[in-house]
Structure 1
Amino acid sequence: MADTPRRVRATAAAMDLLRRLRGRHGPLMLHQSGGCCDGSAPMCYPAGEFVVGDRDVLLGLLDLRLRVGELPATPPEPDDIAPVWISGPQFAAWRHTQLVLDVVPGRGSGFSLEAPEGFRFLSRGRVFDSDELATLATVATVTGADWERGERPTASTQPQVVAEAADACPVPGRGTPWNPV
């Protein structure tokens, strides 16, 4: 069976910002917002400050020890993990997409920890190919209710951190069928 693709990855810049925020605020969690006053931004909170719903879906666990292309040599400590959640209905619409957590200059939402940092988290996406979708169809998702019962996601051996978002979700270049100019 093919390795399970990650539903969430992060750029090196996003991981650096998460590590800085963890140093100031302790363990973290993220929730991919579905709209309202914060748009569709990934929101970063101190772990446990955002109530995860029973039907929210865990996209993955970001291991804050990792750098570009690294795989963990040892299991992470709980404080090294930042879970990334999304609402159940939003997951249903995005289930075919890998979320790539990135960071860009600008002011984020007042509710997210990075707001005073001069940067904001940004979600980018890459559509899974048919083989990845077939593999993901065999893997159970972990909901908030599952998490409360102690269930954890299947581990992936694919690298989690990319140097830049384009490394995970490339934009077709010139001379391709998508951009012939």
Structure 2
Amino acid sequence: MRHLLVRSLIISAVATLGVFTAGAAHASVSGPEQDPVFAAPPGTAEIQVAKLTHAQATARLRAAGITWSSSGGCSDRNKPNCTSFEQVNLATIQGAETLKGASGCALNVTGGTETGHASGTYSHWNGYKLDFGLATCVNNYVRNNFTSVGGNQWRSGSGNIYYLESNHWDVTYYNCGGC
């Protein structure tokens, strides 16, 4: 009963802030998945997340001066060579906006919610991750401003994880990064 009351209060507070959309999806913390970055920050609660359409996400990215590209020159969520933002979390896009504003770096998104990425609760498909192309400015900003947690991973002050893969940054946004 207490769990339901606390959950209800949290949901009410978040809804009051206007975070929900009609098509909100449900996310919860679960055990390790196939994704290399699966651990939620301590204290992460079960929450509702606001989802964006591809058009809504690209409008926000464009306004922030963030570019995106795909090897296939497309945005179809069901094709792995496309870069799609369909069903991306609002907080994920806000996290990219926060990174752009804080770092002053040029950002190019090379991976969004399209198929072809690792599965898991905090996955690309579920709207929590973006891939950014490698750039000296971004590389230096992450390494100099975030905490190394081992395995080519850095944790931002807000708990988001920046994972340096062979040719891109794989970023898990648990929140908007201080938006």
State if a TM-score over 0.5 links the two structures.
Answer: no
Which structure features the higher share of strand residues? 1
TM-score range, shorter chain: under 0.3
TM-score when scaled to structure 1?
Answer: 0.27
